[in-house]
Structure 1
Amino acid sequence: MKKIPARILLPIIMGLCFILENTVSFYFAHTLFYGATKYIPHFIIVMLIMMVAYIPRNQVLVYALILGLIYDVYNIGIIGVYFAVFPVVVYISGKLLHYLQGSFLMVLLVSIFGVAVSEFGAYLIFSSLKSVSIAFLPYVTSRLTTTLLFNMAYFLIVYFPFTMLLKRWQRENKGISATQVKL
């Protein structure tokens, strides 16, 4: 049986990741969003940051723009929030991973940083639009820290299987990569 090329699998997996993020948000909404602490899944950002470690940044920026637009249309209703945030996070993460010559630990730390930038960027945009009413300190204590921990757990679960696919993508594309991540 012939293997499906990684260039075909990658968009499928990113689509499934989008569905998983929304499914987790929907089915666990009471647990995740209501209560003293809130856990916001940012699975797409985590996957995009892992991608930028293995795939040239410009190609990942295309994924970030498309997924940001779809995310805005499907989840937010205001086009432009994540359409802007996703590419900015990918760009910054790509630059960081390029200079840090990322290992597993560096990709983890950059992923945490990327989720924080994404969450904080969205918070700033929504607070400037007056569509969020939580003050900054309660936001950090009840939402940002728990969101970072939740997404770090997701990273630890998907890192090794997803990087195997990304390494296969590299082999299929003759190893062209913006950064070389070592395990």
Structure 2
Amino acid sequence: MNTKHFKMIRQHLLIALFLLILGIFDGSFSYVFQKYFYTNTMSLICRIMLMGLVLTIFFIPNERYIVLIAAIVGLIYDSFFTGILGIHAFLLGLLAYVLRYFADDIPHTPLFIGLVYVLSLAFVETGVYYINAFIGMTRVDFTDFVATTLGPTIALNVVLFIILYFPLSRLLLKLKTE
């Protein structure tokens, strides 16, 4: 096996590991702050792994297998957090495909990447809501979902984006140069 091929495989595995670790942070962060995140009036869902996926697409644009990596990480995420296999695998794979297509046309600044992250977050959360509603796992109407889950989730994740953008982007740039 030549060195270039080995480096590419290593990069694929490191990106998958990076996203899986961020998924573990999602669960850990939610567990530690569950008293504040899940109340009778709202639910805040931590999506640091989604942030990592969006940042990976922007900072490592030559990653050819990001759609496959996103789908596999989504499947693992489903197995740990939702219990319904395929929801995040489908949504994250689709999101990675669309973002990869448009990423070159979007300015690579924190503001625009943050806006893409918010739109991605809204897409994934709304997709999860509609899939759960379709299979009968939720009976909350869409207006209540927006008020009690989507809005607070976006607010939490915008704060997390502001805090984590520079450390994660530097980590990805370092991964890209290796």
User: What CA distance in whole angstroms lies between the structure 2 residues aligned with 1:108 and 1:18?
Assistant: 19
Q: Residue 58 of structure 1 aligns to a residue in which SS?
A: coil
Corresponding residue for residue 124 of structure 2: 118
Amino acid at match of 1:35: N
Higher relative contact order structure (alpha carbons within 8 Å, sequence separation ≥ 6): 1
User: What CA distance in whole angstroms lies between the structure 2 residues aligned with 1:137 and 1:57?
Assistant: 38
Amino acid at match of 2:105: Y
User: What CA distance in whole angstroms lies between the structure 2 residues aligned with 1:141 and 1:14?
Assistant: 28
Query: TM-score, normalised to structure 1's length?
Result: 0.83
Corresponding residue for residue 148 of structure 2: 142
Give unpaired runs (5+ residues) of structure 2. 1-6
Q: Deviations over 1:38-69 (max 9, x none)?
A: 21111111110000002235332232112101
Corresponding residue for residue 29 of structure 2: 24
User: What CA distance in whole angstroms lies between the structure 1 residues aligned with 2:33 and 2:76?
Assistant: 22
User: What CA distance in whole angstroms lies between the structure 2 residues aligned with 1:154 and 1:63?
Assistant: 23
User: What CA distance in whole angstroms lies between the structure 2 residues aligned with 1:108 and 1:167?
Assistant: 17
User: What CA distance in whole angstroms lies between the structure 2 residues aligned with 1:10 and 1:68?
Assistant: 13
User: What CA distance in whole angstroms lies between the structure 1 residues aligned with 2:97 and 2:162?
Assistant: 22
Give unpaired runs (5+ residues) of structure 1. 173-183
Query: TM-score, normalised to structure 2's length?
Result: 0.85
Corresponding residue for residue 72 of structure 1: 78
Q: Identity across aligned pairs (percent)?
A: 23
CA 157–63 in structure 1, closer or farther in 2 if over 3 Å, else same: farther
Corresponding residue for residue 175 of structure 1: none
Q: 29, 46, 59: which one pairs with 1:54?
A: 59
User: What CA distance in whole angstroms lies between the structure 1 residues aligned with 2:63 and 2:134?
Assistant: 30
| Cα RMSD (Å) | 1.9
User: What CA distance in whole angstroms lies between the structure 2 residues aligned with 1:91 and 1:151?
Assistant: 22
Amino acid at match of 1:123: Y
User: What CA distance in whole angstroms lies between the structure 2 residues aligned with 1:137 and 1:86?
Assistant: 24
1:105, CA displacement in angstroms? 0.9
